[in-house]
Structures are given as C-alpha cells and as structure tokens.
Amino acid sequence: MLTVIMAGGRGTRIAGIAGDIPKPLIPVCGKPVLEREIECLRAQGFRDIIITVSHMGGKIMDYFGDGSRFGAHISYYFEKEPLGNAGALFRLRGEMARSVDDSFLLLNADSVFDIDFKRLVNAHETKNADVTLFTHPNSHPYDSGLVITSEDGAVTQWLSKEDSRPKWYKNRVNAGIHVIRQSVLDEYMEALADSRKISVDNAGTNGNESTIVPDGKTDLDRDILKPLAGSGRMYAYDSPEYVKDMGTPERFYAVCRDYEAGIAVSKNLSRRQKAVFLDRDGTINVYKGFLRDIDGFELLPDAAEAVRRINESGFLAIVVTNQPVVARGEVTFGELAEIHNKMETLLGEKGAYLDGIYFCPHHPDSGYEGEVAGLKFDCRCRKPKPGMLLKAAKDFNIDLSESWMVGDSETDVMAGKNAGCHTGLISTDNSCSEKPQDRPGADLTGASLCELVDRILNGKDNCGQYENA
C-alpha cells in the first residue's frame, strides 16, 4: 500500500530544540524522527513512500534520497507555496493512481509512532470504510481533537480543539494517522468542479503533467474528512499503541524518555503487552454501592495519579467492571456509557487515561422490577469469571502471566487468578506476618491504589521483597 507522509510543516513551537533543521529531522535518541517512521513502515512491508516537503525540504530530500539506503522507494512533492495540509495530495493524484491499492496511508511527519499498520489496514478493509482514523487516548484530551462514534465505530462527530464539546466525553483523540480511499479525493474535486473552485497546475506531479487542483489551500480535516462524519463511511480504529505529538519542547523530551525506556517500541500490538486491570467501584471511584446516578461518580483521591503512573510505565491500564444494574433495568447502556465518559474526562483533566473499558452487564438472578430479560443469564464475563480479562487479552495481545488484576474485593482477586494474572487487593490489612507466596488471596495488598501500583511497578511486596515476574 502506498504511504504519503506530510513533512512540510515549519515546526515553530519546537524551533528552540533545533531551529537549523526541519522538524522531521530532529533526532530522537540519535535518529531523526522521520527515519524512525520509515523504519517502522518498511519493517511491515510498506516501502512505497511519497513525502511532501516545503520548509527546509531540501535537507529532507538530501538525507533520505531515493530511499534505497533505508530499504524503501521514496519520491517527493515540493510545495513551492503553501497548499494547506492536503493540497499536495491533489498534485500527486496521477502518481497515486498508479498504486495497485485503492486506499493509501496518510501520516504526519511530526508525530512519533510505533504501531502495527497491518492491523490498521485490516480494520479499514473489514469495515469497507472510505476513511479510517487511527484514534487513541492521550494525557491531554481537553486540548486535542476528539472523535465521537457509534457503537460500531462509525464516526458521528469530529470535534476540533476550538469546538464546543460535551461536558463528559470519551478520551478518543485523532492521532493524525489515516487510511483513505483515493475515491474520496476524486469526490472532493467533483464537488469543487461544480462550484468552479478549481484550477490547472501545469507542473503536475513530475513537472511535466497538467493536473486539475483545488484553488488555494486545502485543509485535510475541515475540507475533506470532517464532512464525512455521520455518513457511515468513516470509522475510528481505537488503539493503545504509541503515537505522540512532539510539537513542544516538553513533549519532545517526554518522547525521548519513552524511547530510552523502550516504551514506544514495546507498545506496538504485534508485540505481547502487559496490563494492569483495574476494578472500577472502590478502586477508581468512591464506592457508593451500585452506582445508578452519574452525579454519584467521584474519583478516589489517588486514582488519577495511580493511572498516570501506569500510563508512564508502559503497562496498559484497563478497567474491568461488573455492572449488573444494566440487567436489572436500573441503568441503561447509554447511561452507563455516560458514567464512563465522566470517568475518562476526570482522569484526562489530570493527565491520566484508560486504554480500555470492559464491563459485564449481566446478572444471573431474576425478580427485579424493570429487568432486561435478555441480560439475565449466567455469563462468562461476570467476575470472578475471567471473561473480560480474556477478551481484553485477545484484543490487545496481552500476556496475562505478566499482567495484574487490582481491585478492592476477593471477587477481583479470583477473576485475576482465573485469568492467570498476578493480583493486588486494596485493603487496610497490610500485614507482613506472612510471605505473599504463603498467603492465600492476593499476591499484594495495599491501603490504596497508588500504593499497590508503586509496588507493582517497583517489584516489591508488602515487606519490600516481591520480585515482579
């Protein structure tokens, strides 16, 4: 599949790091960020690459040449005047049409990533989508573009940073990685032709062709992709893999630390993952019995800090929670989703995020007024059964033997053990009278989620002797 990498930005916010070279050539742990992108693509068979350049573009072209030194075939489009972040695509239309695939990858050169592109492309093809957006949770959703979808992943709304957003929202952020059918570009041009907002570019792709192009600048999000929201043609591909913007010095240094620690590479879903599975009520939020009202949801004081530490460690942070109130008819699926949106919003405000939320809506007992008959059965996902953990393990390629289940009840502990995980129990009884291997129940106990997370990440038991397997 053809890959187009947009590398024409000026990188003004990060100019203080290296103002004499273009942003894609800024080294991350000794290697230019764009070289890391190309290595990730090449290793997965994506070797046909077009790079659009502008600001100091000659330096990018000199460094990468025809791509043969990097195991790829690279060509370029040099924007002599600003065309917007999608204008070059139309100048490249002739060259792109020679690709055997009807879709292409479109990436930003100012993002740092290490992802399984084959999974992304497979999701695009399975959905028969015209556009697939790579989306992920991040530590600053409040100033990021949010993507809202239907249950099947179809994009219904795309909210930019400046757009008003719901009070509570899912931490699903557009990462600037796309799979796009070429016909989407053609449809856009047809619409412009009807309004006569097109012109002829006599330079064309290779300097010797004439190409019909949009007048002025073209913005990828505003002009081409956002209008597809709600059409059923554009889907989100949610993934916890490593994609980070390095647009500011602070974020650049954070990326460097992640590479030094091996976190960026390890989060590629082609590699086995480690997770900390978290119960919800009594672990992340204040326990108030079965929560039926969103106003009753309140984060525990240390919850955001604990989740943030998990995020920074390279472990996935995944909630697994029994919610029998749905089967009882006391909370609808929509109301539960809004409670979880509140949880994600509050965590995001404090720089923390969840990589996944799994819930069991079932309840085996009948006799509740308003109960939902179709949800009243003995399921495989209700803790202490391990169904939710097993589903997450399949979705995210998780090695359960290297993962943890943490909660505030023996039900959580048993679910973790049944899944083959290490287990942690939030408890005020933190006695060291017995070694963990001799003590029935959880492998670790602690008075708070933060305390347990610290012990898990530092490999210490209640007495300071536990070695993380």
Residues with a catalytic annotation lie at: 279, 281
Count the alpha carbons within 13 Å of 99 in the hemisphere toward its beta carbon: 23
Closest to 79 in 3D by CA, of 50, 104, 106, 103: 50
* Tokens 């919850």, residue located: 303
Report in angstroms the alpha-carbon separations of 90 from 21, 57, 130, 200, 327.
27, 19, 17, 11, 52
* Distance in angstroms (rounded) separating the CA atoms of residues 60 and 22: 8
Cis check: omega of the bond before 384, within 30 degrees of 0: yes
Cα Rg, the chain, nearest whole Å: 24
DSSP for 173-226, written as a single string: EEEEEEEEEHHHHHHHHHHHHHTT-EEEESSTTTSS--EEEESS---IIIIIIG
Beta bridge partners of 453: none
Q: Spell out where 297-413 has E strands.
A: 316-322, 356-360, 404-407
* Nearest C-alpha neighbor of 154 from the set 76, 88, 234, 84: 234
- How many Å apart are CA 191 and CA 386, to the nearest integer? 52
Residue 29 in tokens: 């742990």
Neighbours of 250 (CB within 10 A): 9
